[in-house]
Structure 1
Amino acid sequence: MHNKTAAPTSPDWDLIRAFLAVVDAGSLTAAAGALATSQPTLSRQIAQLEQQTGAALFERTTRGLSLTEAGDALVEPARRMQAAAQALALAAAGRAQTLAGTVRLTASEMMSAHVLPPILVQLRAAHPEIEIELVASNRVDNLLAREADIAIRMVRPDQGSLVTRHVADYPIGFYAHADYLKGRAPVTPDNFAEHDWVGLDQSPQLIDGFRSAGFNIDRHFFAFRCDNNIVGWEAVRAGMGIGITMQRVAERDPQLVRLLQEFPLPSLPVWLTAHRELRGSPRMRIVFDALAEALGD
């Protein structure tokens, strides 16, 4: 009678996900935070995966955890499993044929705070069965990893697997509150540098824009600096100085005055994007099309 060799146990997805989180984070503490779990739970998952693979996957160093040879060999097949799990989730979401459920959006801070709210009010009134999650962030979320279902961006995405629609171009302008302008010299192309400006702190975006227009400024040109666009805009509305924003936003405040209209400013392109498979869901199609129409108005 021959002894049969036991078939190796296939690691489950939860263990693989825990493994990749530690690989990406470099420590159990950081990985536990990314997965919203506890460090002891994550340690048990790694130990279980090591038991199933029959090898140690990590070793401790002065800088945290580093992969062993066995762990390094596991990374590539684990990434393939991760991609397959994401593809499966996308396919399942795209085939959901009911309107009830959640749609997760991502947009910039200014778009989220000053453009989307009235649009989402109308959407909720028309389709109360659809729940909306909104990630207000200036970073470009990865739609392929399902960090969002639909993204509103000011740059055209380059992933070929996305449905992309250019819905509008939003003109921008220079604005200041009427209270700031009281008692000051009129803002002209000759003296605009003598006025107070509201700009960004760490981001070079505005500095690069001025320099490309032929004005060699540095960060000290801006009397008030903040990388949070909402805070910066509220500073303009409070009378802190001159700022730049979408005309669509500024025109809602009658106390704001548009300045330096002789300076040509580029418009902000508005792109609406979603994963192709998600367009197969009636819920996603409704939200996508409603956003396209409202943002294009």
Structure 2
Amino acid sequence: MNSNWQWWQYFLAIAEHGSLSQAATSLSVSQPTLSRQLQSMEHRLGQPLFDRSTQGLTLTGFGGQLLEECHQMRSSAERLERLAAGLASTLTGRVRLAANELVALYYLSKILPSFMDAYPEVSVEVEVSNQVSNLDKRDSDVAIRMFKPSQLDLVCRRIMDIPLGFYASPEYLNKNGTPRSPEALFQHRIIGYDRDQQFEKGGQEMGWNISNEQFLMRTDFMPMHLELARHHGGIVVSHKSLCTAAGLEEVKVGIELPPLPIYLACHRDVQHNKKIRVLMEFLGEHLPKVLV
């Protein structure tokens, strides 16, 4: 039997997607190549791994018995990759940083040039997404998160809190009036989220029954929230420092919004990697200076 780990990666991808075409796309290989590899694998094993039908591929009983062991192999391979990266002692090569849109656009852009000047041989890749990156699979090496990571195998550090508030442009408030109570606030045009549920979850924690569908203007692209408010589109909930810099006025309605915590996180297996360590230290020192 071929002991090539790549064959088992192919097997896992097909099992998870139930489709040769989808698995081939996820693996960045052609569908005919993947089909040939699967046929070769089944020929070597002497038994089919999947049942074929018009609905796709489903595991045979034999294939199902191998699946859990393959998951463990993948976890071991991912851990091996993290450990190897963690032992790297040079300040050259790639380091990947994950941050959400507001942090990346308004804060990281101010400080990363200094990091690049200090470490010119380190390649910095910034993954900008409001979704949580997977540090186990090394989607990123370092993540900036707005909540306390709960995974036991992560090393995290809280660096500060960001004050939040309701803000609008002076022109919007002059035209529509300034709300002074929660009830009056919800009579205004509030800029909300589309599929992102952070408004809904935050409202529920404060005892409000809020739905994204209530808001007439919705987008998950957070920088657009600020720009819409700056151009008199409505009331936004965002970082106080960003809103003040955009020339917006705070709208005080008797609601004290909890501050947004900022954490730096990396996997414990790579915490001693020199590139990752210096990036964590740099962010811990410089981010608070631009977050206020």
TM-score by length of 1: 0.90
- Are 1:191 and 2:184 an aligned pair? yes
Equivalent residues of 2:178, 2:251 under 8 A apart: no
Q: What amino acid maps onto 2:194 in structure 1?
A: D
Equivalent residues of 2:79, 2:269 under 8 A apart: no
Q: What amino acid maps onto 1:263 in structure 2?
A: I
The answer for the alignment partner of 1:148 in structure 2 is 140
Equivalent residues of 2:147, 2:263 under 8 A apart: yes
CA distance in 2, matches of 1:38, 1:211: 47
How far the C-alpha of 1:220 sits from its partner, in A, is 4.9
How far the C-alpha of 1:52 sits from its partner, in A, is 2.5
SS in 2 for 1:81: helix
- Give me the identity figure in percent: 36
Correspondence for 1:13 among 5, 8, 14: 5
CA distance in 1, matches of 2:118, 2:287: 17
CA distance in 1, matches of 2:132, 2:8: 26
CA distance in 2, matches of 1:248, 1:26: 48
Q: Cα distance 1:273–1:208, how it changes in 2: closer, same or farther (>3 A)?
A: closer
Equivalent residues of 1:193, 1:221 under 8 A apart: no
> Which stretch of structure 1 is more off in the superposition, 217-226 or 41-50?
217-226
CA distance in 2, matches of 1:212, 1:275: 29
CA distance in 2, matches of 1:146, 1:220: 35
The answer for the alignment partner of 2:241 in structure 1 is 248
Q: Cα distance 1:248–1:43, how it changes in 2: closer, same or farther (>3 A)?
A: farther
User: How do residues 1-297 of structure 1 correspond to structure 2 at under 5 angstroms?
Assistant: 9-189=1-181, 191-253=184-246, 255-260=247-252, 262-297=254-289
Equivalent residues of 2:98, 2:140 under 8 A apart: yes
SS in 2 for 1:251: helix
How far the C-alpha of 1:269 sits from its partner, in A, is 0.9
Larger Rg belongs to: 1
> Which stretch of structure 1 is more off in the superposition, 230-239 or 136-145?
230-239
CA distance in 1, matches of 2:205, 2:47: 56
How far the C-alpha of 1:205 sits from its partner, in A, is 2.7
CA distance in 1, matches of 2:70, 2:87: 26
CA distance in 1, matches of 2:29, 2:230: 42
Q: Cα distance 1:130–1:46, how it changes in 2: closer, same or farther (>3 A)?
A: same
CA distance in 2, matches of 1:156, 1:124: 28
How far the C-alpha of 1:142 sits from its partner, in A, is 1.6
Q: What amino acid maps onto 2:224 in structure 1?
A: V
Q: Cα distance 1:217–1:68, how it changes in 2: closer, same or farther (>3 A)?
A: closer
Q: What amino acid maps onto 1:266 in structure 2?
A: P
Query: Which consecutive residues of structure 2, in runs of 5 or more, have no partner in the other structure?
Result: none
What are the Cα deviations for residues 152-174 of structure 1, in whole angstroms up to 9, with x where unaligned? 11122222221111111111111
Q: What amino acid maps onto 1:213 in structure 2?
A: M
Q: Cα distance 1:31–1:230, how it changes in 2: closer, same or farther (>3 A)?
A: farther
Q: What amino acid maps onto 1:207 in structure 2?
A: E
How far the C-alpha of 1:217 sits from its partner, in A, is 4.6
What are the Cα deviations for residues 11-48 of structure 1, in whole angstroms up to 9, with x where unaligned? 31111111111111111111112112211122122222
Please provide the CA RMSD for this pair.
1.9
Equivalent residues of 2:52, 2:58 under 8 A apart: yes
Equivalent residues of 2:164, 2:239 under 8 A apart: yes
How far the C-alpha of 1:268 sits from its partner, in A, is 0.8
SS in 1 for 2:271: helix
SS in 1 for 2:280: helix
Q: What amino acid maps onto 2:228 in structure 1?
A: A
CA distance in 2, matches of 1:272, 1:258: 29
Q: Cα distance 1:101–1:81, how it changes in 2: closer, same or farther (>3 A)?
A: same
CA distance in 1, matches of 2:203, 2:267: 35
CA distance in 1, matches of 2:214, 2:283: 37
